[in-house]
Amino acid sequence: MGALEVRLAETQADIEAVQALRYRVFYEEMAAKASVDMRDQQRDFDEFDNVCDHLLVVDYASGNERVVGTYRLIRRSTADKIGHFYSSAEYDIKALLEYPGEILELGRSCVDAAYRNAQTMMLLWRGIAGYINLHAIQLMFGCASLPGTEPEKLSLMLSYLYYYHLAPPALRPIAISKRYVDMRSRDYHEIDIKEALAEMPPLIKGYLRVGGFVGDGAVVDEQFNTTDVCVIVKSDLIAKKYARHYELTVRAPPFAHVLES
């Protein structure tokens, strides 16, 4: 799309560029708490990064590759290498693990401030649609973030999500008991839908537009300075909306380490 391209990371340099982008967005812009090693290297990283797939948007306009957007993609086979999915630190995802077919955890989504527009997000979602097709993904999930660590200030959005978008029991993750924050701080009749959606972060709103659900309970993430909800999306809804915009004959790329996100 113009000078922008969406693809999977193919080299260690790609992964490090993704981690540097995540550091700028999460730690410098959003005031997440970095470890000493992260501060020294100016990169965000964890145990999943070298076994997952990294979806990235690259800008070639300057003649150099510049990574400006990313998603981390974790399939069952990736999680098996670590022993768990990232979301399991916040949610009991037993219902998702028992789902027949391939599942995909989405995470670490971020876009450079200068590229936060419809074009970049469209490319990311087209990339996800292609990945869904390539790996026959049937269900996607992941922790999505609301800004800040004071759930009472997010009461309208959390209550709206619970009353209007709670996942059915067969697919419902539940926040682990020691981190569980009840989302129902307002009564159903108090919810102003228009106001709730106006406050909602664009990424979560995007999940809702394609039929996304949320799990039961929010979780405060002190490291990333956010309050998280677990989002679940049936993959066919994504494919129908975004895959039709481009050729779905996808060939497997030359993975650097057979990647994730």
**Residue 238 pLDDT exceeds 70:** no
Percent above pLDDT 90 for the chain:
80
Least confident span in 34-38, 60-64, 210-214, 238-242: 238-242
Compute the distance between CA of residue 48 and CA of residue 205 in angstroms, rounded to an integer: 26
- Residue pair 156/191 in contact (Cβ under 8 Å)? The answer is yes
Domain ranges of the chain: 4-245
Q: Can you give the pLDDT at residue 243? A: 52
Residue whose entry in the numeric block shows the structure tokens 């995470």? 107
Region 217-239: mean pLDDT is 90
Is pLDDT larger for residue 195 or for residue 249? 195
Q: For 120-168, what is each residue's pLDDT tens digit? A: 998 999 999 999 999 999 999 999 999 999 999 999 999 999 999 999 9
Q: For 77-106, what is each residue's pLDDT tens digit? A: 999 999 999 999 999 999 999 998 899 999
Q: Can you give the pLDDT at residue 258? A: 24
Region 237-254: mean pLDDT is 47
Domain 4-245 in CATH 3.30.70.270: no
Give per-residue burial for 108-131: e unless 16+ CB within 10 Å, then b: bbbbbeebeeeebbbbbbbbbbbb
Q: For 50-75, what is each residue's pLDDT tens digit? A: 999 999 999 998 778 899 999 999 99
Cα 258 to chain center, whole Å? Answer: 19
Region 158-180: mean pLDDT is 97
Compute the distance between CA of residue 253 and CA of residue 261 in angstroms, rounded to an integer: 15
∠ Cα 212 67 253 (to 5°): 75
Compute the distance between CA of residue 52 and CA of residue 7 in angstroms, rounded to an integer: 14
DSSP-H helix ranges across 23-154 = 36-41, 76-82, 94-97, 118-135
Q: Any bridge partners for residue 139, and if so which?
A: 103, 234
Determine which helix (DSSP H) or strand (DSSP E) holds 57, and give its type and residue range: strand 53-59
Q: Any bridge partners for residue 4, and if so which?
A: 59
Q: Can you give the pLDDT at residue 249? A: 38
Residue 53's nearest CA partner among 206, 237, 242, 250 is 250
Q: Can you give the pLDDT at residue 147? A: 93
